[in-house]
Amino acid sequence: MVDLQSQYQRIKPEIDAAIESVLESTKFIKGPEVDEFAKDLAQYTGVGYVIPCANGTDALQIAMMALNLKRGDEVITATFTYAATAEVIALLGLTPVLVDVNPETFCIDPAAIEAAITPKTKAIVPVHLFGQFADMERIMAIAKKANLYVIEDLAQAIGSIYTFSDGTQKQAGTIGDIGTTSFFPSKNLGCYGDGGALFTNDESIAQNIKMVANHGQRIQYYHEVIGVNSRLDTIQAAILKVKLKYLDEYCKARQYVANYYDKALAGHPNLKIPYRDPKSTHVFHQYTLQLCGIKRDELRKHLAILGIPTMIYYPLPLHFQKAFGAENYKKGQFPISEMLCECVLSLPISTEMEEEQLAFIVSGLKSTLLYLSNIELEDHATNAEKMNQTKHH
């Protein structure tokens, strides 16, 4: 699905030198590269403060702790997302309130957020899924009216830009009270292990984040709250500092792949290509199709034989997961998310794909779809024949 090897080979001398420099310094924790990378990323995104941490899941947890959310507070998020988002809400004793998504963008539906607000609601966590923004203009308006915090989960959308109706443009993670991201290796900006970061424009929130992530201490050995230990290690920061210079190029490379797929697959009777929201650039962390009239597992099996990997992000919405109390939800409660889980299929996408590979994937996909549609037609014909024969007998 992702070719990290080719990406590494292209920038190997720079990466190797950056790692070697950390090895020579032996400042493995809190080396200067951590602050340098945080500053570079703040400058790139235009946000006031970037606080690195150990991974994207920690970033979400630290965000909720830094905002002082308390046991029993309700936090609204989408049921069609990666589990990490809702997991930390539950882990902190807060109540995850799951809602449905927009059928075009796959991101949280603002009308569903409004309908889910209660006096206990304290925050909304929109996830910019697959590389495209949730409807932040409406979400921010809802949050302002109901006095709620907004934590943007931009793990899949770093570098994406949102345009408000007045023309103002903002980077992912810089619109809400806090943005949280992951530098997992396959992410659009990925390190060579685990990593994450929080963004905020608010100085006191930034101080709280730093305190929570550092065992709840502002002054060494004086612990104000129960915190966590969550740090980006120096080697990862040094790698990210190199890779950040290439982020725009990486986004463009992903968009090139997506444009290629779009052009080749638009209008296909069994496929719906990803929607592009005019308000958001799409940085295509995933290129996710919707299938119609085709058995997904059969398709995946045949493509795998051809050597074409595919993935299902995600096969089960959170409200059907045992961990999130599936027994409390009814089938059909969040119909869009349920439908998407049944029909989505993500194709390989990464920064170093060549036209030859893309042509191979597209032709393999199209010929397999044709083959499976013909089998389907033959099955229909055989069944009809059998029914006819039974009638005559």
Binding-site ranges for ligand PLP (CB under 6 A): 55-57, 81-82, 84-85, 127, 153, 155-156, 182, 184, 194, 196
Q: Kindly tell me which of 37 and 82 has the beta carbon lying closer to ligand PLP.
A: 82
Q: In this structure, how many other beta carbons lie within 10 angstroms of the beta carbon of residue 321?
A: 17
Q: How far is the CB of 341 from ligand PLP (least distance, A)?
A: 15
Nearest approach, Cβ of 47 to ligand PLP (angstroms)?
18
Closest CA to 317 of 329, 303, 302: 329
In the complex with ligand PLP, the residue whose CB is nearer, 7 or 57, is: 57
Give the shortest CB-87-to-ligand PLP separation in angstroms.
Answer: 9
Nearest CB to ligand PLP, comparing residues 57 and 281: 57
Name the residue nearer to ligand PLP (CB basis): 113 or 294: 113
Closest to 344 measured CA to CA, from 61, 80, 8: 80
75 vs 127 by CB, closer to ligand PLP = 127
94: left (phi over 0), alpha (psi -120 to 50) or beta: beta
* Angle formed by the axes of helices 234-244 and 32-45, nearest 10°: 30
Sequence-distant (6+) residues with CB within 8 A of 390 are none
Nearer to ligand PLP, 122 or 187 (CB): 187
What are phi and psi for residue 198, nearest 5 degrees?
Answer: -120, 145
In this structure, the chain runs to a length of: 393
Closer residue to ligand PLP (CB): 254 or 358 = 254
Q: Shortest Cβ distance from residue 194 to ligand PLP (Å)?
A: 6
Least distance (Å) between residue 157 CB and ligand PLP: 9
Query: Nearer Cβ to ligand PLP, position 74 or 153?
Result: 153
Torsion of CA 135, 139, 140, 142, to 10 degrees: 150
| Helix, strand or coil, per DSSP, at residue 220 | coil
**Least distance (Å) between residue 183 CB and ligand PLP:** 7
Where are the alpha helices (H) located in the chain, listed in sequence order?
4-25, 32-45, 56-66, 84-91, 110-116, 136-146, 203-213, 234-244, 247-265, 296-305, 335-343, 355-392
Query: Could you tell me the smallest distance in angstroms from the CB atom of residue 220 to ligand PLP?
Result: 27
Residue 175: CB minimum distance to ligand PLP, A: 16
Cα separation, 139 vs 123, whole angstroms: 11
Residues 291, 296, 298: CA angle, nearest 5 degrees: 140
Residue nearest to ligand PLP (CB): 56
Residue 197 C-beta: closest distance to ligand PLP, Å = 10
Q: What Rg value do the Cα atoms of the chain yield, rounded? A: 23
Token output for 163: 């345009």
Which helix (H) or strand (E) segment is 121 a member of? strand 121-125
Q: Cα–Cα distance between 238 and 87 in angstroms, integer?
A: 30
Nearer to ligand PLP, 184 or 199 (CB): 184
